[in-house]
């Protein structure tokens, strides 16, 4: 994408609850950890310059794309698309389209970001609808789950495309050679579920694709990590993700209160601190921040809106991995196998 | 239902992973805690008698319904319905139909139990489809959630009926005077979600029913307890429940391992034990065991198949509360308000 040796990442400096400070601090952290990266920073120069002044190294690695416009968190995607042509969010997507950046990262409005990514970058050949995919912790090892909310209604064909994209994504980011794919359902027996998942299961089972389809998985299997890739529609995936995050946060808070609530609790915490610290690090949701828009023709990573610098740095790291491993190119190859009789005219028209 | 002063509960002694011992031990525990209850115990007398001999008080409070047949965990509902007419599961449902028991409780095959309940007991007037409802812990207070898996495909009208049943159920079991109802969705804005949830939202908002509809809620709101009743289709509800249970169990196990993994951890556990014990009690899934089949004409409570005696006792307690509070009668009243122009002929035909 970029003509220089560095990997250039375009950051929407104005997206997210604590932007732009959180974005700048996150970029500084990411720069310490990844070598050979540079940033295009889209946002209000007057607000960004003073923040950058605190990070000498980062300032040298940044080029500013000045704009005073940004997409608000509650803007409708269609409105953001029409009226946000000079927004910080749009500038980072444009930078990816024009090859000036290898990836765009934003913690702003998810719907608006997806709409811009679809319209400006277009979808990959043979993909009808992009999906939001993320890496999540599980009992055994990290797993990939999609769709996390881009498509509330899905056909069986959509789910099959998600499976293929998820398989390639898992190989790229989890370093799993042959990821096992599971379809999320209410039971593991073939008769379970609605027509869409059952038809998707048949398509995947009978597919000539070289993927390891493991069958249906249930909600608890997601957490237990029995497969590497969990495929579901955007409605169920979004609810599942928020339920898991909410439950984890409920437990973490209850644990904290239990320790703080008494002298014995405080003492126990002081003694057990190191053991508990390891636990926290293992499940820290910030370290899993950064969902990819799989299926658009360019790397776009969505950070949680409420994250902090540590979380935003993780999203940048995810984008770096995805771009360096040629994930999108590998998805194009993977999808090509799905199209049994490719139509060059149709492919060219996209 | 019963002509005696005691409340009679019919227990499927052969359902569940650790049946029948778990059922007998659970019944003994429940008998210690609830006064004025008796049991009909359906199962193999030769296996039940020796177990009952260990519990003198329980033996006196039990009447056996002998059968050697039972419904296996992997039986198809249609097969169980046809071939299981003399199964322990069917005998407890029949006992409710005939007024010999106020409630049936089983830890067996969920699909078979629902099929038998629907066919033998029929659905309540104005209810198209029964739903599985359960009480779950949340950050603030216990909440009711439905459907947890009876209906993978739901119409807007189904969701509205679930909302009404859930409202009445919450009043009966949570002691909340005016429960707040939320529709589970991928966002709280009106434009979010698929057509079914959006139409259900319109129906609930414009309804003349005296219920407190609070709008859309997201996955994390379920855990935070922002409403008293969460309404969703059986696909999403089933996945959500299993994700929440899986996440809770993952954290509990990780915490245990953290404490056990080092000498400092063990010492911390010994000192903080009482504080942590309170935490465990608050979220112990066994205490929330017992899902009700809302909308069938009789009280049927489903226990987790993998539960132990403590969990089964909780399911019995749930059935006692539901029966004593006249939950089904209150649902009939609540649903009557939904039917604006009741058709006596249709109601009689059910």
The reply to whether B332 falls in a domain is no
Answer yes or no: do A276 and A132 share one domain.
yes
> Of B224, B227, B223, whose CA–CA distance to B241 is shortest?
B223
Nearest to B219 among A240, A274, A278 (CB): A240
How many domains does one find in chain A? 2
- pLDDT < 70 regions, chain A: 1-4, 337-350
pLDDT one-digit tens code per residue, B24-36? 999 999 999 998 9
- pLDDT value of position B341: 42
Q: Are strands B291-294 and B299-302 parallel, antiparallel or unpaired?
A: antiparallel
pLDDT one-digit tens code per residue, B178-237? 999 999 999 888 878 899 999 999 999 998 888 899 999 999 999 999 999 999 999 999
The reply to whether B316 falls in a domain is yes
Q: Return the residue in B132, B143, B246, B285 with the most chain A beta carbons within 10 A, the one to mutate for interface testing.
A: B246
Residues of chain B positioned with their CB less than 8 A from the CB of A76: 191
User: When comparing pLDDT for A67 and B329, which is higher?
Assistant: A67
- pLDDT value of position A337: 65
Q: A246 Cβ partners below 8 Å, 6+ apart? A: B219, B220, B221, B222, B223, B224
Domain end residue (candidates: A238, A260, A290): A290
CB contact under 8 A, B255 and A279: yes
Give the tokens for residue B101.
């028991």
Answer yes or no: do B19 and B121 share one domain.
yes
Give the tokens for residue A219.
């909600």
Domain end residue (candidates: A249, A264, A290): A290
Give me the DSSP letters along B263-331. HHHHHHHHHHHHHHHHHHHHH-GGGG--EEEETBSSEEEEPPTT--HHHHHHHHHHHHHHHHTTHHHHH
Rg (CA), chain B: 21
CB contact under 8 A, A219 and B236: no
Cβ of B333: how many Cβ atoms within 10 Å?
Answer: 11
Residues of chain A positioned with their CB less than 8 A from the CB of B236: 235-236, 239
- Specify the range with the lowest mean pLDDT, choosing from A295-309, B59-73, B309-323, B332-346: B332-346
Answer yes or no: do B122 and B135 share one domain.
no
Residue B147 has pLDDT above 90, yes or no: yes
Which CATH number do you get for residue B317? Answer: 3.40.718.10
The reply to whether B118 falls in a domain is yes
Q: A115 Cβ partners below 8 Å, 6+ apart? A: A77, A78, A80, A81
- pLDDT value of position B110: 93
Helix axes B195-205, B156-174, angle to 10 degrees: 60
pTM of the complete model: 0.89
Q: A266 Cβ partners below 8 Å, 6+ apart? A: A259, A260
Nearest CA in chain A to B277: A258
CB contact under 8 A, A223 and B247: yes
The reply to whether B147 falls in a domain is yes
CB contact under 8 A, A240 and B248: no
Answer yes or no: do B276 and B313 share one domain.
no
Answer yes or no: do A141 and A29 share one domain.
no
CB contact under 8 A, A272 and B269: yes
Query: How far is the C-alpha of A65 from the C-alpha of A153, rounded, in Å?
Result: 37
CB contact under 8 A, A268 and B275: yes
| Per-residue 3-state assignment (H helix, E strand, C coil) for A266-295 | HHHHHHHHHHHHHHHHHHCHHHHCCEEEEC
Query: How far is the C-alpha of B59 from the C-alpha of B33, rounded, in Å?
Result: 16
- pLDDT value of position A339: 54
B173 φ, ψ (degrees, to nearest 5): -100, -20
For residue A76, give how far its alpha carbon lies from the nearest alpha carbon of chain B (Å): 9
CB contact under 8 A, B264 and A244: no
Nearest to A236 among B189, B236, B241 (CB): B236
Nearest to A235 among B138, B186, B249 (CB): B186
In the sheet that holds A103-106, the strands lie side by side as A62-66, A37-43, A7-12, A103-106, A299-302, A291-294, A131-136, A143-146, A229-231, A180-184, A212-217
Answer yes or no: do A23 and A171 share one domain.
no
Answer yes or no: do A240 and A286 share one domain.
yes
Average pLDDT over residues B33-48: 96
B85 φ, ψ (degrees, to nearest 5): -65, -20
DSSP B17: T
Domain end residue (candidates: B287, B308, B339): B287
Nearest CA in chain A to B221: A246
Answer yes or no: do B27 and B122 share one domain.
yes
The reply to whether B339 falls in a domain is no
Domain containing residue B246: 129-287
Length of chain A: 350
Q: A76 Cβ partners below 8 Å, 6+ apart? A: A111, A112, B191
- pLDDT value of position A203: 95
- Which value does ipTM take for this structure? 0.88
For residue A5, give how far its alpha carbon lies from the nearest alpha carbon of chain B (Å): 41
Average pLDDT over residues B120-142: 92
- pLDDT value of position B338: 58
Residues of chain A positioned with their CB less than 8 A from the CB of B248: 247, 251
CB contact under 8 A, A251 and B251: yes
Average model confidence (pLDDT) for chain B?
90
Answer yes or no: do A146 and A169 share one domain.
yes
Residues of chain A positioned with their CB less than 8 A from the CB of B72: none
Residues of chain A positioned with their CB less than 8 A from the CB of B247: 223, 243-244, 247-248, 251
Answer yes or no: do A30 and A137 share one domain.
no
CB contact under 8 A, B268 and A264: no
- pLDDT value of position B25: 97
CB contact under 8 A, B239 and A240: yes
Which CATH number do you get for residue A312? Answer: 3.40.50.10950
CB contact under 8 A, A240 and B241: no
Query: Where does residue A113 rank: exposed (0-12), middle (13-18), buried (19+ CB within 10 A)?
Result: buried
Answer yes or no: do B164 and B278 share one domain.
yes
Residue B343 has pLDDT above 50, yes or no: no
Query: How far is the C-alpha of B269 from the C-alpha of A271, rounded, in Å?
Result: 9
Q: Return the residue in B115, B235, B288 with the most chain A beta carbons within 10 A, the one to mutate for interface testing.
A: B235
Residues of chain B positioned with their CB less than 8 A from the CB of A261: 275
Answer yes or no: do B228 and B310 share one domain.
no
pLDDT one-digit tens code per residue, B285-303? 888 899 999 999 999 999 9
């Amino acid at each position: 994408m970029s003509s220089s040796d560095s990997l250039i990442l375009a950051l929407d400096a104005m997206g997210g609850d604590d932007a732009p400070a959180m974005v700048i601090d996150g970029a500084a952290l990411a720069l310490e950890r990844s070598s050979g990266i540079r940033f295009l920073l889209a946002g209000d120069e007057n607000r960004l310059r003073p923040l950058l002044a605190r990070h000498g190294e980062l300032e040298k690695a940044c080029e500013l794309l000045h704009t005073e416009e940004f997409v608000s968190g509650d803007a409708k995607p269609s409105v953001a698309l029409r009226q946000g042509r000079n927004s910080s969010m749009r500038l980072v997507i444009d930078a990816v389209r024009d090859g000036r950046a290898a990836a765009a990262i934003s913690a702003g409005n998810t719907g608006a970001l997806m709409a811009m990514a679809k319209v400006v970058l277009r979808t990959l050949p043979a993909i009808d609808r992009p999906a939001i995919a993320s890496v999540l912790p599980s009992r055994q090892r990290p797993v990939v789950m999609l769709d996390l909310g881009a498509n509330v209604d899905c056909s069986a064909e959509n789910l099959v495309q998600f499976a293929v994209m998820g398989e390639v994504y898992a190989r790229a980011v989890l370093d799993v050679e042959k990821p096992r794919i599971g379809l999320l359902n209410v039971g593991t027996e073939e008769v379970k579920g609605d027509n869409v998942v059952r038809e998707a299961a048949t398509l995947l089972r009978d597919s000539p694709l070289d993927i390891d389809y493991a069958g249906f998985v249930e909600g608890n299997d997601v957490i237990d990590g029995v497969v590497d890739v969990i495929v579901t529609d955007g409605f169920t995936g979004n609810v599942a993700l928020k339920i898991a995050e909410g439950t984890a946060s409920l437990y973490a808070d209850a644990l904290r209160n239990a320790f703080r609530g008494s002298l014995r609790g405080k003492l126990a915490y002081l003694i057990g601190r190191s053991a508990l610290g390891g636990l926290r690090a293992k499940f820290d949701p910030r370290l899993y921040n950064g969902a990819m828009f799989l299926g658009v023709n360019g790397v776009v990573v969505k950070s949680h809106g409420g994250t902090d610098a540590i979380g935003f740095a993780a999203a940048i790291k995810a984008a770096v991995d995805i771009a360096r491993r040629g994930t999108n190119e590998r998805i194009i190859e993977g999808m090509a196998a799905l199209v049994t009789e490719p139509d060059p005219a149709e492919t060219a028209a996209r």
